[in-house]
Chains A and B, each alone.
Chain A
Amino acid sequence: MTADSQRVRFGVVGIVAVSLFAALFARLWFLQVMTAPEYQVAAENNRVRVVQEEAPRGRIRDRNGRTLVDNRRSIVVSVDWQRYDGLDEADQNALLGRLARLLSIDRARFPSGAAASTTSPVPPGTPPGTPPGTPAEGIVDPRPSAPEPVTPDQLRRRLADPRFSHFKPVPVATDVSEELEVYLAEHSEEFPTVRAERITVRNYQFGQLLAHVLGTVGAINSDEVAAFQNKEKPYEVDDEIGKTGIERAMEARLRGVPGEVRYEVDARNRPVRRIGGRPPVPGDDVYLSIDINLQYQVEKSLAAQIKATATQGDNCDARGCFDGPRSGSAVVLDPRNGQVLSMASYPTYDPAAFVGGISSEEYGALVAKENLVPAENKAIAGQYAPGSTWKLFSAYSGLANNQIRPQDTVYDPGYYTIPGCTSGRCEKQNANRLRIGTVNLTSALTKSSDVYFYKLGDEMWRRRAEVGDDALARTYQQWGFGTPTGSGLVGESDGRVPTPAWKRAFAKDLYAEDPKKAESYGGWYSGDNMNTAIGQGDVLVTPLQLANGYAAFANGGTLYTPQFVLQVTKAYSGSMVDAFAPKPVRTIPMPPEWRAPMLEGFKGVTVTGTAKDTFAGFPQHRMAVAGKTGTAQVNDKLDTSLFAAFAPADAPEYAAAAILPEAGNGGDAAAPLIRRILEPLAQPYGLKGLPPAPPGGGFDVDAAISEIPAPPSDTGD
């Protein structure tokens, strides 16, 4: 080895070594100096996980501050579907068998609701869940009654139910006992994939009372995630969101600000320590205009009236006999400001069924036609022909269009012949062709003379060149019909105010293939105007629209937007966040010379008119009731029974409407129902003197029927 060549070789080795070290240093410089900031961000993201902590929803209270809905903790047993699906079939069957047995034992030991009361309430200071009273009839309670054992098949169906996302644990039992929770935790190897966890759920202090207005909450779906983006109160995938009713309408207020816990996590995402965050802020409390005591009276009376009419009435007319009423709704407003004091829809349901997730089967029962869709709020979604209750608005239209004058009289022989009529049916008659005699505006309302209003409708049509072919319709729209009232509840129906233009379009749509037929059915004739004037034909109203229209008349012509929410307050401090003032929609001109004779007519209804028998013995001296019966004819069904009223007649504090389909005459069902509702209010202390609604809200329908002796029903319309 020569010295020279050796030096060269070592030189080569040295240069290689130096360049390798230089490369390392260059790379180190690049990573730690030039690109360090982005790696620092990456390291921070690696380190911290933010876990959202759901905030308790705000409470819902009635106008007097009684808590209607708050929160409680519930223990829910759920099955991790992904892992469950990974088991082989024998293991699945064995697991479900064991679980079903365990749940059955737990249910037998802690029957319905009792287990719930063992769970701790949610602060601040809310009383524990009150066991519901006897559920009233007509409450569709989809939950199996208490001690019925759980079968493995039920669990299997529940797990296969498409309502439950398979990416989250599927809840199979709600409100299990703490003992079961402990047992499952201790025997986790026997129950793979099964876990019990504590969740915060809605607690309905008054059971099924006010269910439709309160509404339900459920897991947010992807559409809602997009629609309810809320920077202050962000939603996560399985967060709860109001689905219907006030829960939905006031979602932005009721929802709390989710808390955040920032954890430092290790490489396997296991939290190592808490490094900060902020506590959840409970949602705001919402005070409703509803009076829960009145609500109790209304729901009890509605259920009792429907049952009484169905079982005790004869439910027969000229066409034959029918089953009688199976559904109905009633609304009570404060005409002075449009506040909704009570709103009831029958049949109803128990919102607690939604707690912890509702299965397809259970939900299906709540929206089934054969059950009359218990989930639907018929007071805002139901659309019915208003019948003679409509005459208030027709009379106003006649006055406003100079068609009638209060003092003008009309002779009502029981039928009306259309002058100059040459073809078709030229005669229209009162119910049962009843001869009423000479009537003016006041007595036409009291005695419900159809002929008076036939004539009004007919003559308005004849003057259409002068007043317009939609003169009636314009008046009805002025009173809020044909559009949702804007109360804020989802699912409000429009109702329908027919006009010649509407009828043409409707027929064209209906007989799209047959233009000739569309032409003939789409025509608007005198008869259409006459039918519309007495609230038949194509007119449709919702109970809330009807009550609101009567409230507007009662207060002297101010149409309000029905109001459900009085104020919003902070959860702990109770300090006011927002107070909602009455919202007038418009003022309807109402000169005293129009209003006085009409009011006289409505006052007469309960004294000498179509509801005089119903209101016999009613303390009119304390609270005079002005109202109007309605009997709307429906094809192939018993008539719809309606009554709309306000009281006290001269200084109205309540405006109410009740609509009971398939219940017969207005005097048969709706008027007695309104009497049942108003009777306690006529007592000295009015709303404040009502008997308190029992916790749980349950009542006995049969007892309720006998509470107020069934008044003799009027035959009048």
Chain B
Amino acid sequence: MATTLTAPRRPVTNVRRNPSAAWHHLDVVLIGCVVAVSALGLLMIFSATRGPEQPFDYSFLERQTTFVVLGLGAMAVTALFDYRKVRDYAPFLYGGAMVLLVAVLVVGSRQKGTQGWFQLGKFQLQPSELAKLALIVAFAYLGAQFRNDVDLRRFAALLGLCLVPMALVMFQPDLGTTLVSAAVTVALLVVAGCRSRHLLALGVAGLLGIAVILQSGALDQYQKDRLTTFISQDDSRGTGQVEEASYNLNQSKIAIGSGGLWGKGLFQGTQTRLGNVPEQHTDFIFTAVGEELGLLGAASLLALYSVIVWRVWRTAQLARDDFGSLLCAGVLAMFVFQIFENVGMTMGIMPITGIPLPFMSYGGSATITSFMAMGLVLNVHMRRFT
């Protein structure tokens, strides 16, 4: 016979003395998902960069590991400082980011036609990534003050706030980051309570603006080609840049499509191993997942992203104040747009632009920025009772 023991229903320790203490409300699900995606990212970056045979190239893996560790640190730091203190520094953050954006146009280094990096020893800093965060913080700072009462003047102020960094990034030119900023802006304007007619007018103006930009020649031909290739992707008659752009897209689709249901197995993807997909470790990292891990892996990754987005969305609603809510909404828009645009372009349903896939794509600035954004969300989440 078993003896039924009744344990005393007292806590073993008294760590739960303050039930509203911030660290009791850490969003473990979000952290878990972020860590899982980052780990998968490391694996896929290694697969895409190790080369076809021995000796394998570990350099990308090592550097990205460094970035992830730095990112985790940055996330922790961002989460620790009370986001309401961040609010006090919002103008300085925004101003600082703008200064960096101007500075990069003057003293930055040029890569693939884009002047968007500071060379810091071995590493490169991409200020446009940080500027996205600064934009979100500044918008939340201003939008929270307007308290759901956004007239035309305030609407213009908010819009202007966003347009300045977007214009500076466009000068580099970095179309991808500009588009992300635009998506963030629109989402924030909606959440901030802007009036429907203002938003409608903005939409019309935006469409007109796109038409004017495409016609005026402000974009280089290669940018236009990349943007429009996905519309005519089965048209193989293109030449030069169009051909190159459609080559990228073709190889990308072949990689994902050939992965099938179960994938070819880790390190077994021929498109990945033989380097057929250009920029695979950065913008086209999703193709490595699709090819080697198949629908199973790719859908799992999308599911992880969905959970992350859901947690951010949930935090935005749980936030104690409008500032926190807007912060989360901005981060949400940033992630959703980046994921959709990046994964969509590898599958041929979105134009090809240089937008990294959060926590997956190789790159220091983007990885650290993404972690810091998560840090902000964690921050809002765990301080929702204080």
Chain A residues packing against B (C-beta within 8 Å): 1-2, 5-7, 9-10, 12-14, 16-17, 20-21, 23-25, 27-29, 31-33, 35-36, 38-40, 42-44, 46-47, 264-268, 272-273
Residues of B within 8 A of A7 (CB): 317
Residues of A within 8 A of B344 (CB): 23-24, 27
Residues of A within 8 A of B290 (CB): 28, 31-32
Tell me whether A39 and B53 are in contact (CB under 8 A).
Answer: no
Instruction: Please report the C-alpha to C-alpha distance between residue A36 and residue B259 in the assembled complex, in whole angstroms.
Output: 7
The 6 tightest CB contacts between A and B, nearest first, are A39-B257, A1-B148, A43-B258, A32-B295, A36-B260, A47-B270
Residue with the greatest number of chain A CB neighbours at <10 A, chosen from B251, B255, B274, B294: B274
Min distance, Cβ A41 to any Cβ of chain B, angstroms? 8
What 0/1 readout, one digit per residue, does chain B (309-329) give for beta carbons within 8 Å of chain A? 100010011000010010001
Residues of A within 8 A of B349 (CB): 23, 27
Contact for A9 among B191, B251, B339, CB less than 8 A = B191
Known A9-B190, A36-B261, A264-B270; judge A17-B336 contact (CB<8 A).
Answer: yes
What 0/1 readout, one digit per residue, does chain B (287-320) give for beta carbons within 8 Å of chain A? 0001100110011001001100100010011000
B193 within 8 A of A: yes
Instruction: Please report the C-alpha to C-alpha distance between residue A12 and residue B147 in the assembled complex, in whole angstroms.
Output: 19
B347 within 8 A of A: yes
Residues of B within 8 A of A13 (CB): 187, 190-191, 313, 329, 332-333
B176 within 8 A of A: no
B343 within 8 A of A: yes
Nearest A residue to B143, CB-CB? A1
Residue with the greatest number of chain A CB neighbours at <10 A, chosen from B253, B258, B291: B258
Nearest A residue to B263, CB-CB? A32
**Cβ contacts A to B, 13 pairs, < 8 Å:** A2-B148, A6-B317, A13-B332, A21-B305, A21-B309, A24-B302, A32-B260, A36-B257, A39-B257, A40-B258, A43-B270, A46-B271, A46-B276
Nearest A residue to B257, CB-CB? A39
Known A1-B322, A28-B302, A272-B274; judge A17-B309 contact (CB<8 A).
Answer: yes
Residues of B within 8 A of A35 (CB): 257
Tell me whether B256 and A31 are in contact (CB under 8 A).
Answer: yes
Residues of B within 8 A of A36 (CB): 257-261
What 0/1 readout, one digit per residue, does chain B (336-367) give for beta carbons within 8 Å of chain A? 10011001100111000000000000000000
Tell me whether A40 and B260 are in contact (CB under 8 A).
Answer: yes
Residues of A within 8 A of B255 (CB): 43
Tell me whether A273 and B52 are in contact (CB under 8 A).
Answer: yes
Tell me whether B275 and A266 are in contact (CB under 8 A).
Answer: yes
Tell me whether A5 and B148 are in contact (CB under 8 A).
Answer: yes
Min distance, Cβ B87 to any Cβ of chain A, angstroms? 16
Residues of B within 8 A of A10 (CB): 191, 313, 316-317, 329
Residues of B within 8 A of A17 (CB): 309, 313, 332, 336
Tell me whether A20 and B316 are in contact (CB under 8 A).
Answer: no
Known A40-B258, A264-B274; judge A31-B332 contact (CB<8 A).
Answer: no
Contact for A21 among B291, B306, B322, CB less than 8 A = B306
Contact for B257 among A6, A16, A31, CB less than 8 A = A31
Instruction: Please report the C-alpha to C-alpha distance between residue A39 and residue B348 in the assembled complex, in whole angstroms.
Output: 14
Known A28-B290, A32-B290, A33-B260; judge A1-B52 contact (CB<8 A).
Answer: no
Min distance, Cβ A553 to any Cβ of chain B, angstroms? 70
Min distance, Cβ A266 to any Cβ of chain B, angstroms? 4
Residues of A within 8 A of B277 (CB): 267
Known A13-B333, A272-B52, A273-B52; judge A31-B302 contact (CB<8 A).
Answer: no
Instruction: Please report the C-alpha to C-alpha distance between residue A20 and residue B349 in the assembled complex, in whole angstroms.
Output: 11
Contact for A1 among B193, B274, B294, B313, CB less than 8 A = B193
Residues of A within 8 A of B251 (CB): 46, 267
Tell me whether B302 and A21 are in contact (CB under 8 A).
Answer: yes
Residues of A within 8 A of B70 (CB): none
Kindly identify, within residues 179 to 208 of chain B, every residue whose CB is under 8 Å from any CB belonging to chain A: 187, 190-191, 193
Q: How many residues of chain B get a CB closer than 8 Å to chain A's CBs?
A: 51
Instruction: Please report the C-alpha to C-alpha distance between residue A32 and residue B313 in the assembled complex, in whole angstroms.
Output: 29
Nearest A residue to B260, CB-CB? A36
Tell me whether B147 and A39 are in contact (CB under 8 A).
Answer: no
Residues of B within 8 A of A43 (CB): 254-255, 257-258, 270-271, 291
Min distance, Cβ A169 to any Cβ of chain B, angstroms? 27
Contact for B147 among A1, A29, A40, A42, CB less than 8 A = A1
Known A20-B340, A33-B261, A267-B276; judge A46-B347 contact (CB<8 A).
Answer: no
Known A24-B302, A24-B340, A273-B52; judge A32-B193 contact (CB<8 A).
Answer: no
Min distance, Cβ A535 to any Cβ of chain B, angstroms? 69
What 0/1 readout, one digit per residue, does chain B (263-277) give for beta carbons within 8 Å of chain A? 000000011001111
Nearest A residue to B271, CB-CB? A43
Residues of B within 8 A of A20 (CB): 336, 339-340
Nearest B residue to A31, CB-CB? B257
Kindly identify, within residues 220 to 253 of chain B, every residue whose CB is under 8 Å from any CB belonging to chain A: 251, 253
Instruction: Please report the C-alpha to C-alpha distance between residue A266 and residue B275 in the assembled complex, in whole angstroms.
Output: 6
Instruction: Please report the C-alpha to C-alpha distance between residue A292 and residue B343 in the assembled complex, in whole angstroms.
Output: 75
Residues of B within 8 A of A9 (CB): 190-191, 193
Tell me whether B190 and A12 are in contact (CB under 8 A).
Answer: yes
Residues of B within 8 A of A264 (CB): 52, 270, 274
Residues of B within 8 A of A31 (CB): 253, 256-257, 290, 347
Tell me whether B347 and A40 are in contact (CB under 8 A).
Answer: no
Kindly identify, within residues 51 to 67 of chain B, every residue whose CB is under 8 Å from any CB belonging to chain A: 52-53
Min distance, Cβ A48 to any Cβ of chain B, angstroms? 9
What 0/1 readout, one digit per residue, does chain B (123-140) give for beta carbons within 8 Å of chain A? 000000000000000000
Instruction: Please report the C-alpha to C-alpha distance between residue A264 and residue B52 in the assembled complex, in whole angstroms.
Output: 10
Instruction: Please report the C-alpha to C-alpha distance between residue A99 and residue B93 in the assembled complex, in whole angstroms.
Output: 67
Tell me whether B316 and A42 are in contact (CB under 8 A).
Answer: no
Residues of B within 8 A of A268 (CB): 275
Known A13-B313, A31-B256, A32-B260; judge A266-B294 contact (CB<8 A).
Answer: no
Min distance, Cβ B194 to any Cβ of chain A, angstroms? 10
Residues of A within 8 A of B332 (CB): 13, 17
Tell me whether A32 and B298 are in contact (CB under 8 A).
Answer: yes
Min distance, Cβ B195 to any Cβ of chain A, angstroms? 11
Residues of A within 8 A of B309 (CB): 17, 21
Nearest B residue to A28, CB-CB? B298
Residues of B within 8 A of A33 (CB): 260-261, 295
Tell me whether A32 and B256 are in contact (CB under 8 A).
Answer: yes
Residues of A within 8 A of B253 (CB): 31, 39
Tell me whether B299 and A28 are in contact (CB under 8 A).
Answer: yes
Tell me whether B336 and A46 are in contact (CB under 8 A).
Answer: no
Min distance, Cβ B285 to any Cβ of chain A, angstroms? 15
Residue with the greatest number of chain B CB neighbours at <10 A, chosen from A13, A20, A35, A266: A13
Min distance, Cβ A230 to any Cβ of chain B, angstroms? 32
Instruction: Please report the C-alpha to C-alpha distance between residue A571 and residue B140 in the assembled complex, in whole angstroms.
Output: 84
Min distance, Cβ A57 to any Cβ of chain B, angstroms? 35
Min distance, Cβ A31 to any Cβ of chain B, angstroms? 4
Min distance, Cβ A408 to any Cβ of chain B, angstroms? 87
Tell me whether B52 and A39 are in contact (CB under 8 A).
Answer: no
Tell me whether B52 and A266 are in contact (CB under 8 A).
Answer: yes
Tell me whether A46 and B343 are in contact (CB under 8 A).
Answer: no
Min distance, Cβ B294 to any Cβ of chain A, angstroms? 6
Tell me whether A265 and B274 are in contact (CB under 8 A).
Answer: yes
Min distance, Cβ B110 to any Cβ of chain A, angstroms? 25
Min distance, Cβ B276 to any Cβ of chain A, angstroms? 5
Nearest B residue to A273, CB-CB? B53
Nearest A residue to B348, CB-CB? A27
Known: A10-B313, A32-B298. 15 other contacts (CB 8 A): A1-B322, A17-B313, A21-B302, A24-B340, A28-B347, A33-B261, A38-B257, A39-B258, A40-B257, A46-B274, A46-B276, A47-B271, A265-B274, A267-B274, A273-B52
Tell me whether A28 and B190 are in contact (CB under 8 A).
Answer: no
Tell me whether A5 and B193 are in contact (CB under 8 A).
Answer: yes
Residues of B within 8 A of A29 (CB): 295
Min distance, Cβ B38 to any Cβ of chain A, angstroms? 20
Nearest B residue to A21, CB-CB? B306
Instruction: Please report the C-alpha to C-alpha distance between residue A280 and residue B148 in the assembled complex, in whole angstroms.
Output: 80
Nearest B residue to A268, CB-CB? B275
